[in-house]
Structure 1
Amino acid sequence: MDPTVLAALTLALLVFGLLATGVWVSVTLLVSGIAMMALFTPAPTGSLMASTLWDSSWGWALTSLPLFVWMGEILFRSNLSRDMFRGLAPWVGRMPGGLLHVNVLGCAVMAAITGSSAVTCATIGRLSVPELEKRGYPMAQTIGTLAGSGTMGLLIPPSIVMIVYGVTAEQSIARLFIAGILPGLVLICLFMGYVGLRALLRPAEMPAPDPRVGLWGKLKALTNLVPSIGLVIAVVGSIYGGIATPTEAAAVGVLGALLLSLLYRTLDRENFVAGLMAAMRTSCMIAMIIAAASCLSIAIAFVDLPRTLASWVGDLGLSPWALLAVLALLVLAMGCFLEGISIIVLTSSVVLPLVQSAGIDLVWFGIFLVILIEAAQITPPVGFNLFVLQSLTGKDILFIARAALPYFLLLMALLVLITLFPGIVLILPDAMS
């Protein structure tokens, strides 16, 4: 048997075998990398792995990651979602779909602050689920809008998953952030359009519209959005305006989040320590996965697997579209069992050379991949947003998955749109470069 083929089979058995037994993703990647290096190459395994672990753990681009995670944890413990609901409700209460649009718009605003899908979903859902249930909205629709819209935490910048992809693919994080703007806006329109259309087609499901609010009342309600919109402008606007790097903007975001917590009187010693420790745990987990993935990547490079696989795919004569379809199916299948960051670091060493050899822009592919990972957030059995909503509502996971299905299909529609019209992704970063 060809040594490269044997190495690939050994790698697959190691990775899936260890993951199936419940071993941590970071440990799985590190053990697999060491085994590949020791079994299939004459290279000095110990020194190479040690230097790779060190080199992958201090990259400057990674410094923004724990700051954005901490910002999200601080805001999760504040009352920001309450004011967002008050600010948005008068504007959408009489639209087809009513206050369900608050879930979509509220998640979009929170996504632009926290960069995390689970935090976005939990923060908005903690307030909106009991409020919409009290007003008579169908629970399936409430859950569906939260499940789908919560995924925007990965697409609308700043996004933690985009930071990990940018580091792994050696792409500009600022360009990735900018590239996510238009697809994010398109996704908001798709979700709101579906909510409105369903309400028009099935009016019996919906409660009576909210009482009409005059223009002055609506404008007055907008003052509730000032804190959240101000933080979005401070964080995201500073990046787009060239005033700050993503890391500097993340530091500004943390300061802004602390100030908002002071304003909402939720910043006590207990919340501060809890948020800091949660951010540290999450950041350490991500850093461990990235460092271990670097070890696996260098081992795979030594056994020449990326070049061999790229050559094999090239011999198949797949068009770029066919290649993207195959990769999409692979990521969605992995998304049933792994979370997004693990998927990126696990596949990058093999997938990125294939994508580059097909002439696909890596910034565009980053957004393509993020949308797929968004879809994986609402697919059982390991859809993180499904678990968040299960804890909020007490509904079983299959009920939540069925409610989220239309939003999964809308994410697939967005994939088709950016594939047919790649300018949706690239026009803004190209214009600002």
Structure 2
Amino acid sequence: MEPLSLGAIVACATIIVLFSGISVASGLLFVAASFLIFFDGMSSLSLMPEVFFGKLDNFALLSIPMFIIMGAAISSTRAGADLYEALERWLTRVPGGLVVSNLGACALFSAMSGSSPATCAAIGKMGIPEMRKRGYPDSVAAGSIAAGGTLGILIPPSVTMIVYGIATETSIGRLFLAGVLPGLLLVSLFMAWSLYSTWASGDARVLRSTTYTWKQKIEILPRVLPFLAIILGVLYAMYGGIATPSETAAVGALMCLVIAMVIYRLWDPRQLWAVLRDSTRESVMILFIIGAAGVFSYMLSSLFITQSIAEWIGGLDTNRWVLMAAINLFLLVAGFFLPPVAVILMAAPILLPIITTAGFDPIWFAVVLTINMEIGLISPPVGLNLYVINGIAPDIKLKTILVGSLPYVGCMIVAILLLCLFPGIALWLPDFVMGTAL
């Protein structure tokens, strides 16, 4: 059978299996084993354990559970509420400052926790009732926080960037730096749209602000600055040549646990156990998907599907931007149904030779891919963040949350277009800090 035809069959089979409700890792292993047995015989199964564990034999993978522990320690405290309150107190005199402070809190908390659902829950519980009380439309109140929660997979330290770096053998340090300016760009676009929609609503109540004294502004800082200092310290250690990403992640995880215990009195052994238990569960899930995706990629390569697709794409007489548009459409649709980690592990090894052949930078492409994954988090039918917001504000209809999030999807599409026009938005900082890649 032609490899391209076989690839189409594998794609259809994978979609059917994953839509059946089976876990992503188990589904990938099942599809890979089925096709290997059918075409190469039972003897091919003897290589699957070696491929599976070989994919996990990577020192950089140690940073994943460490960063997850950082996020779990932060999410288990009042850090989100304190961060929200701090920004509200400092930005209260800015017209529409409440929505700006909510988006800023989402960006910072999602960067610290790396979890979109945790960000939506932590900031939404405080921010949504307050915005609604001051007259912000329900769509703005819910949609802004649903969109703000997606920023954690782009702004460093990002677990999805680590996964992409491992899947494509790309520098994780460069990937982290590449997400900084696009992340700030997205935050700016989100804020600009939120302020415009607030102004367009014509409700003067949203411009009213509560006055805080300097004492009230300063007294909240000791509760949030230590966590921000840890994030900055982790990035400095990483780019200052002091330690590797895995080593800095381990130190950051320990410091987050210590600060959670000292500042937020997280002394109860049951609470600490919950942090470690949840972190272990999420880490094992991600590592299981990574190992399964390695077996899936091995199957594609063994049956010459990956090579044939890359060769076919390379032979197409088409504009490279048309090709990139098609890739973006594919990623967008995949992100509607699958979690970001699964899409990256499945698609990145196949797409990498295609984009490099077309002359695109893999670091730049990582940012574009990640923004596509962000769109999936606030788009139906899965749209995890939409359901989290609906859970914490059940009186806001899911349709209203969806309508409120759609403009932010437009902001993400604008960001992708700007990255296509000005790739330096993603590439300038990595090249400036780490030198131009060869």
Task: Classify the secondary structure of the residue corresponding to 1:207.
Answer: helix
| Corresponding residue for residue 399 of structure 2 | 398
Equivalent residue, structure 1, for 2:175: 176
Query: What residue is the counterpart of 1:243 in the other structure?
Result: 242
Q: Which residue of 2 aligns with 1:384?
A: 384
133-142 vs 161-170, greater mean Cα deviation = 133-142
C-alpha distance in structure 2 between counterparts of 1:208 and 1:180, whole Å: 32
Q: Kindly tell me: are residues 155 and 267 of structure 1, through their superposed partners in 2, closer, same or farther at Cα, counting changes over 3 Å?
A: farther
In 2, Cα distance between the equivalents of 1:336 and 1:258?
34
* Shift in Å, 1:220: 5.4
Distance 1:326 1:267 in 2: 52
Q: Which residue of 1 aligns with 2:47?
A: 48
Cα offset, 1:401, TM superposition: 1.3
Superposed, 1:218-233 pairs within 5 Å as 218=217, 222-233=221-232
Q: 2 CA distance for matches of 1:287 and 1:175?
A: 22
Which moves more between the two structures, 345-354 or 385-394?
345-354
Question: What SS does structure 1 have at the residue aligned with 2:242?
Answer: coil
Q: Distance in 2 between matches of 1:288 and 1:223?
A: 39
Matched, 1:416 2:420: no
| Deviation of 1:179 (Å) | 0.8
Match of 2:311? 311
Question: Using a 3 Å threshold, how does the CA distance of structure 1 residues 205 and 282 change in structure 2: closer, same or farther?
Answer: farther
8 Å contact kept, 2:134–2:205: no
1:151-230 to structure 2, matched below 5 A, reads 151-204=150-203, 206-213=205-212, 218=217, 222-230=221-229
Q: Counterpart amino acid of 1:75?
A: I
Tell me, what secondary structure is at the counterpart of 1:88? helix
Q: How does 1:246-325 map to 2 (within 5 A)?
A: 246-262=245-261, 263-325=263-325
Contact 1:378 1:384 in 2 (8 A): yes
Q: Which moved more, 1:102-111 or 1:118-127?
A: 118-127
SS at match of 1:270: helix
Aligned residues of 1:336 and 1:381 also touching (Cα < 8 A): yes
Aligned residue for 1:380, secondary structure, equals: coil
Q: Is the 8 A contact 1:94 1:210 kept in 2?
A: yes
Q: Distance in 2 between matches of 1:290 and 1:415?
A: 27
CA deviations over 1:6-59 (Å, ceiling 9, x no partner): 421331232112112111111111111122222234694122212101101221
Mapping 1:341-380, distance limit 5 Å: 341-380=341-380
The 3-state SS of whatever aligns with 2:157 is coil
The equivalent residue for 1:430 is 431
* CA displacement at 1:127 relative to structure 2: 2.3
Q: Tell me, in whole angstroms, the C-alpha distance in 1 between the residues paired with 2:418 and 2:283.
A: 33
Conserved 8 A contact 2:138-2:400 = no
Deviation at 1:70? 1.5
Contact 1:156 1:181 in 2 (8 A): yes
For 1:341-374, what per-residue CA distance to the aligned partner results, in whole angstroms no more than 9, with x for missing partners? 1111121232222112112111111111011101
Q: Relative to structure 1, is the Cα distance of residues 267 and 145 closer, same or farther in structure 2, using a 3 angstrom cutoff? A: farther
Contact 1:37 1:299 in 2 (8 A): yes
1:144 positional shift: 1.1
Q: TM-score, normalised to structure 2's length?
A: 0.93
**What do residues 382-409 of structure 1 show as CA deviations (whole Å, max 9, x unaligned)?**
1121121121111343221111111111
Instruction: Kindly provide the CA deviation profile for residues 217-276 of structure 1, in whole angstroms up to 9, marking residues without a partner as x.
Output: 645554553223222222223223222222122112212221222211234212111111
Code of the aligned partner of 2:84: F
Corresponding residue for residue 97 of structure 1: 96
Amino acid at match of 2:138: M
Query: Deviation digits for residues 122-167 of structure 1, max 9, x if unmatched?
Result: 2222322233334443322111110111111011000111111111
Number of the residue aligned with 1:76: 75
Distance 1:271 1:388 in 2: 22
CA distance in 2, matches of 1:419, 1:205: 38
Contact 2:93/2:209 (<8 A) preserved = yes
Q: Deviations along 1:274-312, whole A, 9 cap, x unmatched? A: 111111111111111111111111111111112211222
The alignment's TM-score, normalised by the length of structure 1, stands at 0.94
Q: Which amino acid aligns with 1:142?
A: A
Which residue of 2 is the match for residue 120 of structure 1?
119
Q: Residue in 1 aligned with 2:148? A: 149
Instruction: Tell me the equivalent position of 1:407.
Output: 408
Deviations 1:171-217 (A, max 9, x none): 11111001111111111111111222222333317434114446676
Contact kept, 8 Å, 1:92 with 1:99, in 2: the verdict is: yes
Counterpart CA distance in 2 for 1:243 and 1:319 is 44
Residue aligned with 1:336, SS: helix
Gap regions ≥5 residues in structure 2 = none
Matching of residues 334-345 of structure 1 within 5 Å: 334-345=334-345
Maintained 8 Å contact 2:69/2:275: yes
Native 8 Å contact 2:36 2:45 kept in 1: no
Q: Secondary structure at the match of 2:94?
A: coil
Post-superposition Cα deviations, 1:61-95, rounded to whole Å, max 9, x if no partner, equal 11100111121111111011222122211232232
Q: Distance in 2 between matches of 1:219 and 1:280?
A: 36
Query: Unpaired segments of 5 or more residues in structure 1?
Result: none
Matched to 1:413, the amino acid is V
Contact 1:114 1:159 in 2 (8 A): no
Q: CA RMSD in A?
A: 2.0
User: Counterparts of 1:142 and 1:237 in 2: how far apart (Å)?
Assistant: 35
Q: Is residue 174–residue 245 contact of structure 1 (8 Å, CA) maintained in 2? A: no
8 Å CA contact 1:87, 1:224 repeated in 2 = no
Alignment correspondent of 2:66: 67
